Amino acid sequence: MVTRAGFSGLYTLYRLREAGLRTRAYEASADVGGVWYIYWIFIVIGQFRS
């Protein structure tokens, strides 16, 4: 089981499956992406303010 489906979580999931293990990822957010998914709006808004 892999918790948190950010970049490192998805990579871990990939590597474990590549090794032949049955795995599943869980993410608390509505979609995968970790911090980038959660904070993307703040990053975009910050670009428009400058």
Residue 48: the pLDDT is 62
Band (pLDDT 50/70/90 cuts) for residue 38 is low
Output the pLDDT for position 2. Answer: 66
Segment 3-24, tens digit of pLDDT: 777 778 888 889 999 999 998 8
DSSP conformational letter for 2? E
Between β-strands 2-3 and 25-26, what pairing exists: parallel, antiparallel or unpaired?
parallel
Q: How far is CA 37 from CA 17, 18, 23, 24, 28, in A?
A: 24, 25, 22, 19, 11
